[in-house]
Amino acid sequence: MRKTKILVVDDEHLIRWSLEQNLKKQGYEVITAGNGEDALKLVRDEQPDMLLLDIQLPGISGLEVLEKVKEIDEEIIVIMVTAHGGLETAVNAMRLGAYDYINKPFNLDEMAIVIKKALETSDLRREVASLRSEHKKFGPPKIIGASKHMQNVLDMMAKVARSEASTVLIQGESGTGKELVAKWIHYESNRAEKPFVAINCAAVPATLLESELFGHEKGSFTDAKVTKKGLFELADGGTVFLDEIGDMEVGMQAKLLRFLEDRTFRRIGGTKGISVDVRIISATNKDLLKSIEDKTFRNDLYYRLQVIPIFLPPLRERKEDIIQIANYFIEHFNKEFNKHVRGISSMAEKMLADYHWPGNIRELKNVIERAIILGNEDTLLLEHLPLEIVAKSTSSCASVTTFKLPPEGVDIEEVEKELIRQALDNNDWNQSKAAKKLNLGIDAFRYRMKKFGFLK
């Protein structure tokens, strides 16, 4: 992986040397220049990702260098370094496109934090640009579903995308594709050219979530070394996806509710109100009405979020979509792994359709990916499926007579051998556990192990 390249521009040799040594220890590639002319040449020749640029330079000034750098590459991050008392000049530098400024004498730890935050912001901008580019090239994410359940969902999604609805609540089990639906709504709306920003409320500690959403001012708390924009501010004009909203801490729910009233907020430690235009799409796999009864979710926030409710059915309730989705994933992984699987055998199709899919579409995707990687045939066969799918699909049948023999027939010995092998593989070759998975006694299981050469 390529290292981030930083150009240090300062006329004092000791400062250049000190920063170079410190930044190299942090894993950055560092180049240096003692004046503006050399710096501009290095920008053209070396294409650094970031400049630490002193304002006071011999020859052309740091501000002139900044202007010329932005003409060469507008995306280069520039952090200005200014002597004490140069605040007005530093502010001018920000207007010219500098990301931030640091006063001399500077603290190396503070410098490291400013650099890290600047790179994170740059990464987010690149990600947004990439998503926009992907949308232009491929269009919105593909949502598959011929079942009545999904046709109703697709109709609702289309209405929401065309509307000015500012809040949408998507509910459904884990793995049903809630984020995919949120992206589809965004990219089919008039907000498609603006950012789509997602955050998992369950994955961010409650103490940090407020800062992530609203941002903070420099010095507002111990680790706030620089001003940081929150996701609402960065997504202005676009969409913010709040995944796992049901896990948000109650105190934070009150702050989110206040924001939803007029889309205005203050950064932590700030006094100025900031207004943004964002659509909020929330999602959860929890029963929020039960959470309201348990006092873990605010009643008023629930009704504010679910102005437009969308319920995604679990895969087991849309069985007619299973094979269509599986074929879509086969096509996807054929391209990714350069395979040529053309379809699914009738027996494998039956097993996929009969399985109850507790992990929903996410689980189906993983199953198909595994089958494509491990299989060498041009058809996805029963033997390519995990044991739990074959076993549970089999056990869900009332009797053997409910099975239909496929037209091409099967080698029952091979089917039995494959089931024994998968049972052993999936249970670390623990014979008792493997036997239990196949509803066999241990003696019967060992007999079959000997029969097929798994036990000497």
Q: Is residue 302 very low, low, confident or very high in pLDDT (cuts 50, 70, 90)?
A: very high
DSSP code of residue 319: G
In this prediction, residue 290 carries a pLDDT of: 95
Q: What share of the chain is helix, strand, coil (3-state, %, to 5)?
A: 50, 15, 35
Name the average pLDDT for the chain.
87
Higher pLDDT, 414 or 265: 265
CATH class of 315-407: mainly alpha
Q: Same CATH fold, 145-313 and 5-125?
A: yes
In the predicted model, what is the mean pLDDT of residues 217-245?
A: 88
Class (C level, CATH) for 411-456: mainly alpha
Query: What is the CATH number that goes with domain 5-125?
Result: 3.40.50.2300
**Distance between first and last Cα of the chain:** 48
More confident residue, 312 or 135: 312
User: Is the pLDDT confidence value at 306 over 60?
Assistant: yes
- Mean of pLDDT values over 30-38: 94
Which pLDDT score, from 0 to 100, does residue 84 have?
Answer: 57
- pLDDT at position 402 is 47
Residue 284 β-bridge partners: 171
State the DSSP string of 38-105. HHHHHHHHH--SEEEEESS-SSS-HHHHHHHHHHH-TT-EEEEEE-TT-HHHHHHHHHTT--EEEESS
CA-nearest of 353, 204, 202 to 284 is 202
**pLDDT of 24 above 90:** yes
Average pLDDT of span 152-160: 94
Cis status of the peptide bond prior to 105, with omega within 30 of 0 = yes
Please compute the mean of the pLDDT values over residues 16-37 and round it to a whole number: 93
pLDDT in tens, 349-389: 988 998 999 999 999 999 999 999 988 889 998 888 887 78
- CATH class for domain 145-313? alpha beta
Quick one: pLDDT band at residue 404, thresholds 50, 70, 90?
low
Q: Are 250 and 260 in contact (CB under 8 A)?
A: no
Spans of all domains in the chain? 5-125, 145-313, 315-407, 411-456
Averaged pLDDT for residues 92-106:
83
What DSSP character marks residue 111? H
Confidence of residue 138 (pLDDT cuts 50, 70, 90): very low
Q: What φ, ψ does residue 69 adopt, rounded to 5°? A: -60, -45
